[in-house]
Chain A
Amino acid sequence: MVASLSPDVVVATEPQAGVVGPSLRREFDVDILEPGTGMRPDVSVGNDSGCAVLTLPMGEEPLAPEQIRTQVERASGGGGSGTPVAAAQICVINQTVSLSVNPYARSATLADVSSYRSRIPDRWWTASTIHLSTALRAGFTTTRVQTDDGDAQFVGIGTSNADLGVGTTAETAHATLVAVYSNGAIDVSEIDPRQFGLRGVPEIGPARFETLRNAGITTVGELADTPLRELTDLSGLGRTSANTVRTAAEARATDSVLPTGDDSLPNQDPVFIDIETDGLHPSTAWLIGVLDGGPEDGHYMSFRERAVGDGSHLRAFLTWLTGAATGRPVVAWNGYRFDFPVITDQLRQHHPELVERWTDRYQFDALWWATTKNGGNAALPGRTNKLEHVAEALGWEPSTNGIDGATVAALYTAYRSQVAGATGAGTTAEPDWDRLERYCEDDVRALATIYEHLDTAARQDAELKTPTGENSSQGSLADFS
């Protein structure tokens, strides 16, 4: 898991924080921080993120920025680039700021904020410092906490002892991945360790995983480097399958899209779409996000229903398609299984006369093309084939925080129930549509990002690309030339 995520820093959290370091240090060259231990702060600087992560040591002493600066310089290779700490984004990790919930007092409060504040140098008490606590549960972000001189937001990255009633499960939390984006956005997600590394590669089930591990192959990188013959012997797979497995491993190891088939992508400029619904078996597609153009500079448009159950946005969407995007393919991720039929279904309900116009359109499912069409045309990076995971592996960053498709669906369903239950007009309040639309925009831009990479891969001649043991497609190409 550590190998596949290749984090800049690993933070050990309870329970059994003490065993994390020794077990990981042996295998990986990664900084392992344990807050609340030692006499000095632990400091680590991310390789390319320019982000300094430091943990509060034991005791109550304030941090000394000078001391940290020298540590940072040492940690970042002693480059001495002026004042790295002042310039970098700073993440401070503590283990004391915790939540205390008392249902009898009907209050939930953050404990230990003021003593935490007193340990942070004033010049770091700014909006660009990120406060993380291992005593707050992963996934929990406080609302902004007021202190005398400004406010702060705390992000949970550990486990909480707070009395959360029936709102949490007693199961031990999985590992948590905290992504700090350059714009300051933070994404905290739970990771299931079982989906990781080799186990995430297609065809590698528990049995093959064991076999490979016994042969000393434990990372996707090592799998990608394994000679084909050895791999067929070990895995019992045929040459073609073994080749596919290797390419998949390589795509993951190198965070790139690699061609595996002969098919090409549509010739015309695509129109990217993504729909928001009310769940996995949707009864509505209340928002259709459209991106006309590339991931950075493309023009984004929202077609959103004007009232619950109203289908006028569908008509508007089709009108735009027909008028402004004649002949261009409509591209969606997993569109054949979700977006396209859902829209067809919606049209059938609201505008049966438009169904044909829609189904006659060139619809193109980029995921299907990559993974399924004629045995698959591209190996994808990312720990799963979910849109966000693939796009993130390719360098895409979201602009919205703490929201996903299921949350959006839940917010919408909540709003709809409220509308349905309301007796008088004007009593319902609306969700933050802008935020939801931005989420949708993030997704179509992610799709466009992937599409670009698919396009690049497809333009390489897959025929010329039979790997021979080199670990880069450039090398393979050279062998044939």
Chain B
Amino acid sequence: MTDTDTPRSKHVTAPNTSLLPDGGTAHHRGILSESHLKESFPEWREQIRHSERLNAQSAETVAPGSVLRDPIASRLGHDLYSHQAEALDLLAADENVVITTSTSSGKTLIYQLQIARNHLASEAATALCLFPTKALTNDQEQSVNDRLRGELGLDTHVGTYDGDTKDERKQTVRENANVILTNPAGLNVYLPRHSNDRGWHRFYSNLELVVIDEAHEYGGVMGTHVAWILRRLRRVLAHYDSDPQFVITTATIGNPATHAATLTGAEFSVISEDGSPRGTRDIVLWEPPLNREALEGCDDGSGDLVEGFEQARRSSAREASSVTAHLAVNGIQTLQFTTARQGTEIGAKQTIEAVTDHPRHRHIDVEPYHAGLGKRKRRAVENQLKGGDLDAVISTNALELGIDIGSVDATVTDSYPGTKQSFWQQIGRAGRGTSDALSVLVGGKDAMDAYILDNPGYLFDADTVEDAVVSIDNDRVFADHLLAAAAERPLTAADAPYLGGDDRFREMTAMWQDAGLLEQAGGLDAGGVTYTGARRPQSRISLYGTTGTDYEVICTNGEIEHDPVATERAYRDYHEGALFLHAGQQYEVTEVDHSRPHPRIQVTEVATTRYTQTLSTKQVHNLEVTDHTPLAGGYDSYFGTGTVRITYESYMVRDYRTGELIDGPLPTETPPLDLHTELLWVSLPEDHLRTTINALGVPLLEPTERAGDDPRVPMEQARYTYAGGLHAAEHGIIQLAPLELMIDNHDIGGLSTPSHPHETIPGPTWFVYDGIDGGIGFSKAIYDHLETLAARTRDHIADCECGRRRGCPLCVMSEDCGNNNDPLDTATGTMILDDLVAAFDTR
């Protein structure tokens, strides 16, 4: 399967374009030429680090008649792109396909045509389409209807079926629909009705096609649940003797076949050769200027390091607003994506401020956009954007996914959005079709951004696409879905292939029988095992966590549309007093009730320039090894399970403009949290501290004043310095892991320690664990990619432009650090990673 996992990219890169050529053919490329910027960009300080031109590409097309039969071929008013034709051929040959071609390359047409084909073969044929959001589902219902009923003139019945659908409508859809559109959370609760509703019975019995759109969205916790929901679906379908084909679409990921297979349990062929046309696209990487003197001035060893950096570098949000303003005043309609702490409203205001500073200043129309806006307001902005009535829109990633806004001339991305697919999705908003497009990435304040500005090849190299990470190994999640499955149909031995494989299935079934939630007298091999627990277990599965408990977020002085919060995150990020941003609005947590059956977090809307940072202590115990990679010279990496006890004991309040410490540490008053989770650990030789310190060519670090108050930080200089190196290596790897893997590194935690009692750990070690109970495959993926990640992290830390021993947010400092980023030493960290890389090389 892995050999099909390398998507071939069609991006053609022009070499040696450190700056855009002056007077480019397209107007808007000229706007960012050096001469133009010098002349008109306020405070021009040569911020452009790199620019890349992707040349136009013409379409590769195929006449519809060579793939499709009439009447579809003749009614389809245009040719097919080569990838669409290829996918349709594979579908005709009974394959499942996963399509990873670029944004707006016509992926949806593939499954629409397959639905049409199936319908012509049998009018009873049905299809189930799953989308990650309700908004997308509604967009797609329109699109499917237009295609099938409008363009192709078929008598198909298409219906959305989700939480917003009225009951009468639901009944009509169940009884008549050929195509049902919903989301995985909906499917989770609708599935059990297969047995007592005629409509569902008909629908499942005739199911020929299952479509999973935007499947890269299903990673981590959500992905784990979706994978089980799809297995439950397949198991129910097997009962109806229906064995539908799957069409999965995804943004470009490194492992499409594997990802599709993990999600569904079926085998897939990959379509990655993109036949759609595109215009010329210029991508500019822009670095906010750093005031080196200011940075050095505050690096006296005793001060607060985060604070110093914040003051020395211009904020990426402000810088992005300046770029957006520059483009807008030059008549280029621009969509700016912001991930910064400040909201889109502030972004819009700053853009207007930036226009007044601009030499060519003229009136521009700017609007913010985020999911928290009312539906009507959002539609209005979408339409104004489409109609060219706005010069710029400052948006959260709400506009990243499929919402139809036509296309803009340029995009500006404030801070790397975390994954390549998300980045490409954003820039895909500019210049749809064959028109030329311009995109700017303004580097944010984090190790990933810094790495990308230093290594722009990462963005444009097709070999470095991240793998989507999804795992079905979490037994707690499995246990819940097994109950749901039993409630859908009694369990029998024949279900094992769908439900975890024979051993796992039998053991978990036996567990629930012993616990009295499955019929104790039943047998998998005889008669089946019936569910006997409380009604509708599906309704209690939370797709946002693994423990079945999640926190509802309630705003006491306004509105908030917040997904439920998993326990693990509630403890860390939503303690009383915590400040957080959501959909462009800042909130403060006023009360957390852990004890209720449905725990809740009460928040109020606030508007401050502060943020909070939570400090924690951690202990790792009950380690059990499940995999081991012996390396040369007494180095080892291990993967296994263990218990991580985290106490989020206090938090700091800082100013986000300056990093200045305003208050703290303040107590959080949250109880300790035990995570039974998956983790990896790197075990170093027993005498590694001594050999490293002996070989260190620079002075030892002096412990900071605050370290003296922290009993966990060694105060002896050599130990302090070495601990800083371990800590730096641990942070660096976690922070750069998303370069390789589509994981949210907020859901990963780390712990470095000079010693640990476990038998596999003779000397210093560091742990990387999944911050979600039971694990979600993140640390396993890091374990599998450790060699690449260690090498990349080593280079990045050694080369960071901060050049500081204690590092900066662009290399080893992390805002999620529970230890106030102390100690950290990039010099020792680099040595430790050097040794690890060497141990991999010579193994």
The residues of A with any CB-CB pair to B shorter than 8 Å are 99, 101, 103-104, 106-109, 137, 139-143, 156, 162, 164-171, 279, 407, 410-411, 413-415, 417-418, 420-421, 428-432
Contacts and interface: CB of A to CB of B under 8 A. Distances in A.
B540 A108 contact: no
A170 B539 CA distance: 12
Nearest to A171: B597
A165 B482 CA distance: 10
Contact of A101 (B511, B527, B598): B511
A244 to B, nearest CB: 35
Interface residues of B, number: 50
A418 B492 contact: yes
Given A140-B515, A414-B530, 19 more contacts: A99-B514, A99-B516, A103-B508, A104-B641, A107-B507, A141-B516, A143-B520, A164-B515, A164-B533, A165-B517, A166-B533, A166-B538, A167-B483, A167-B533, A170-B598, A414-B490, A415-B527, A417-B239, A430-B527
B528 A418 contact: yes
Contacts of A415: 527-528
A422 to B, nearest CB: 9
Nearest to B549: A170
B646 interface: no
Interface string B585-598: 00000000000011
Contact of A429 (B504, B523, B537): B523
Contacts of B540: 166, 169
A433 to B, nearest CB: 11
A279 B489 CA distance: 15
Contacts of B512: 108, 167
Contacts of B508: 103, 106
Given A417-B239, A418-B492, A429-B525, A109 B517 contact: no
B476 interface: yes
B355 interface: no
7 contacts: A103-B508, A108-B514, A165-B517, A166-B537, A168-B534, A170-B598, A430-B527
B676 interface: yes
Contacts of B528: 414-415, 418, 429
B409 interface: no
A171 B534 CA distance: 11
Given A165-B548, A417-B489, A432 B521 contact: yes
A352 to B, nearest CB: 23
A429 B528 CA distance: 8
Nearest to A106: B507
A16 to B, nearest CB: 14
A169 B534 contact: yes
Interface in B461-481: 475-476, 478-480
A412 to B, nearest CB: 10
B196 interface: yes
Contacts of B478: 103
Interface string B770-799: 000010000000000000000000000000
A140 B507 contact: no
Contact of B504 (A101, A106, A418): A106
B18 interface: no
Contact of A164 (B238, B507, B517, B598): B517
Nearest to A101: B515
Given A103-B479, A168-B534, A418 B598 contact: no
B676 A104 contact: yes
Nearest to A413: B195
B541 interface: yes
A156 to B, nearest CB: 8
A407 B239 CA distance: 22
A109 B476 CA distance: 16
B32 to A, nearest CB: 54
B103 to A, nearest CB: 37
A104 B483 contact: no
Contacts of A107: 507, 511, 514
Given A143-B520, A429-B526, A166 B541 contact: yes
B836 interface: no
A134 to B, nearest CB: 16
A417 B490 contact: yes
Given A141-B516, A417-B490, A165 B480 contact: yes
Given A106-B511, A166-B484, A279 B196 contact: yes
A401 B523 CA distance: 19
B511 A410 contact: no
B476 A104 contact: yes
B527 to A, nearest CB: 4
B191 to A, nearest CB: 14
A398 B676 CA distance: 45
B475 A106 contact: yes
B527 A166 contact: no
Given A279-B196, A414-B489, A417-B195, A143 B514 contact: yes
Contacts of A432: 521
Nearest to A415: B527
A408 to B, nearest CB: 11
Contact of B537 (A156, A162, A167, A170): A167
Interface in B655-695: 676
Contacts of A108: 511-512, 514-515
Contacts of A167: 483, 512, 515, 517, 531, 533-534, 537
A165 B530 contact: no
Contacts of A418: 490, 492, 527-528
Contacts of B533: 164, 166-168
A242 B531 CA distance: 46
Interface string B270-284: 000000000000000
B275 to A, nearest CB: 42
A108 B668 CA distance: 35
A9 B515 CA distance: 27
A98 to B, nearest CB: 11
Nearest to B533: A167
A336 B735 CA distance: 71
A137 B516 CA distance: 10
A167 B482 CA distance: 10
Contacts of A420: 239
Contacts of A407: 532
Nearest to B518: A167
Contacts of B489: 414, 417
Contacts of A137: 516
A413 B519 CA distance: 14
B514 A166 contact: no
Residue of A139, A411, A420 contacting most chain B CB atoms (<10 Å): A411
B231 to A, nearest CB: 16
Contacts of B519: 411
B675 to A, nearest CB: 11
Contacts of A141: 516
Nearest to B484: A166
Contacts of A411: 519, 530
Nearest to B507: A106
Interface in B537-570: 537-538, 540-541, 548
Contacts of B531: 167
Contacts of B516: 99, 137, 139-142, 156
Interface in B144-159: none
Which of the listed residues A108, A141, A162, A415 has the most CB atoms from chain B within 10 Å of its own CB? A108
A430 B479 CA distance: 26
A415 B527 CA distance: 6
Contacts of B520: 143
A109 B514 contact: yes
Nearest to B532: A407
A414 B548 CA distance: 27
B599 to A, nearest CB: 10
Nearest to A429: B526
Interface in B7-38: none
Nearest to A418: B528
Given A109-B514, A140-B516, A103 B475 contact: yes
Contacts of B510: 106
